Every structure is written in structure tokens, then in C-alpha cells.
Amino acid sequence: MSAPSEVRRTEQTGPAGAAEPASRRRRVPPGVWFVLPFMLSYVAFVIWPLTRGLWMSFHDTSLVRSGSEFVGLDNYTRLFADPLVWSSLWTTLVFTIGSTIPLVLIALVMALLVHAGGRGQWFWRLAFFAPYLMPVATVALIWNWLFQNDVGLLNGLLGVLGMQPVGWTSDPSVALWSVVLLTVWWTVGFNFLLYLAALQAIPPDVLEAAATDGAGRWRTTRSIVLPLIAPTTGLVLVLQLLASLKLFDQAYILFSGDGGPEGSVTPVLQYVYDTGFVGYRLGYASAISYVFFLLILVIALAHAWLAGRRRSA
């Protein structure tokens, strides 16, 4: 006859062999089942394409040929001697610098003006952010009409001012800046929203203390507001750099995929697209993509290093 304590232990664990599978099920953290769908999607749409692209960059993979041969570093050696790679990289770099500076400064000024108060704030917030909600095809179509040489609004305004019309989409020296103008109008609302959120997070008592000490609006902005939103400025700057480096769709639609006058608006991503899906050279296009990926990675790491130094200072 078994003791009462042994009977209770047998009732808790159940029949022999049933306790071990239950303990195994308990060893799996429940959070795994929540992140599993995301992890599967991440592997399918990020890890696998990256791995496959790296593999193709070392092969002569073609879109119209089933087999491929290992060519080592030939694709990478060829791209460093390809002038179109460097011209497209230069176009991307000029666009990145030319668009990032106004997109940061204009967004900051817009947010400061809206946050300063006044009537109709909801209207200005809607007006500044609404273009960002438009699809890229609509934005390109609107600005294609505005850029028209004969009937476009911009040349019409220049004519009213007594100035000569500008070949916004036909002059090689102007076409890239037309894309910059389009992009600033289209995407400045996102940066404006980030800055406005940062300004609204500033404690009111800090601004009241500055006003009590006699600081004017400009002194308060320069000595208190701008330093307090400096982390947001860093975030906006790196996000804008990465977004501008990915120039493709607005330029491709605006110039119908031909790279603009004399190819002056051919960014590196469009050259990768043309090489891989128009020229069918997927291996060479993959090698260009990985060189461009390393460039973006260097910029991201440089920003992380600078941000770390600023926090430790």
C-alpha cells in the first residue's frame, strides 16, 4: 500500500511517459510562435534574395539562359572599368546632397512656423503633409505638366517675370535639379512631421523659464529648441540620406525610363535595373548592387559611429 504523498505525486504527474512530452512543450518559449511568421517572411524576402544576389554576382547569370558559370571577381573587375557605373553613382550622389539639405532645412522651418502658433494650424499640417500621401506616378504626372516648356506653369511664371523659359526636362544641366524640386515638394512633409513631433515634446516649463529670463524668440530657438531637437535632426538626416540614395521611381517615370536628356538623370538603381532586366545580365547587375550596398552600409556605420561619439561626449 503506497503512502498518501506518493499517491498525490502520481496524480499530479499522470501516467508514466506523459510528463516528458509536456515538459518539452514547455521548453519552447511562447514568444517564438508570435515572431515565427515574421521570421519566415524575413528569410524569404530578405535573407534569401541577399544570398541569391551575392551568389549571382560571382556567376555569369543571364535572364535568358538557364545555366550559369562561376566567373569569380570578373563582374566586380568589369564594373570598376565601366564609366556608366561611375556616372550613375555620381548622379545619385549629386541628387542625394542636393535633395537632403533642403529637405532637412525646409522641414525644420515649416515645423517651427507651425509650432509657433497662429490660426489654421490644422490646414498647414494637412497642406504640408498631403503631398507625401500621393503615389509616385501621380506626383510625376503633376510635375510633368508643370515642367512643360510651352504650357507649363513654371515657365509661365518665368514669362510673367520677364525671364526666359527653362528646359526643365530637356536641358541636361537642369533635368536633375527638376527631380530634386519634385522630390522636395513630394517628401518634405514626412520630415516636417518628425520635427513637429519633436517640438511638441519639449517641456513647456523650459520655454517659460527662457521667456522669464528675457530670451527672445530667436535666442530661445537657437539656444534651447535646436539643441533639444538635435537627436531628431540626426534621425531625419540619416533617413533622408538613405532615402535619397534610393532614387529611382520618380526619375524613371518622369523621363519615361530613358534616363533624361543625354542620360543625365540615370541613377545607379536605374542602371542596375537596365543591366539586369533590359540587358539580361543578372550577374553583372548583382555585382553593381553589392558595391552600392556597401556604400550605403558605410554611410550607416559612419552615422552610428558619430552618434555613439556624440552620446559618449
Confidence of residue 181 (pLDDT cuts 50, 70, 90): very high
Predicted pLDDT at 307: 76
Predicted pLDDT at 119: 75
Percent of the chain whose predicted confidence (pLDDT) is above 70: 91
69-90 pLDDT per residue, tens: 899 899 999 998 999 999 999 9
Count CA atoms closer than 13 A to 89's CA, side-chain side. Answer: 15
Give DSSP secondary structure letters for 140-199: HHHHHHHT-TTT-HHHHHHHHTT-----TTT-TTTHHHHHHHHHHHHHHHHHHHHHHHHH
Strands (E), the chain: none
> Could you tell me which residue, 179 or 304, shows the higher pLDDT?
179
> Could you tell me which residue, 137 or 9, shows the higher pLDDT?
137
Per-residue pLDDT, averaged over 203-217, amounts to: 86
Predicted pLDDT at 175: 93
Residue type for position 277 = F
Q: Where in the chain is the domain with CATH 1.10.3720.10?
A: 90-261
**CA–centroid distance for 224 within its chain:** 29
Grid cell of 276 as nine digits: 539586369
Predicted pLDDT at 74: 93
Distance CA 105, CA 192 (A): 10
Q: Is the pLDDT of residue 56 over 50?
A: yes
216-271 pLDDT per residue, tens: 888 888 888 999 999 899 889 988 998 999 999 999 999 988 888 988 899 999 99
Grid cell of 302 as nine digits: 559612419
Distance CA 126, CA 103 (A): 17
Q: Is the pLDDT of residue 23 over 90?
A: no
Mean pLDDT estimate for the chain = 87
Q: Is the pLDDT of residue 8 over 60?
A: no
Grid cell of 235 as nine digits: 534621425
CATH 1.10.3720.10 fits 90-261, yes or no: yes
Q: Is 287 helix (H, G, I), strand (E, B) or coil?
A: helix
Could you tell me which of 100, 128, 104 has the C-alpha nearest to residue 114? 128
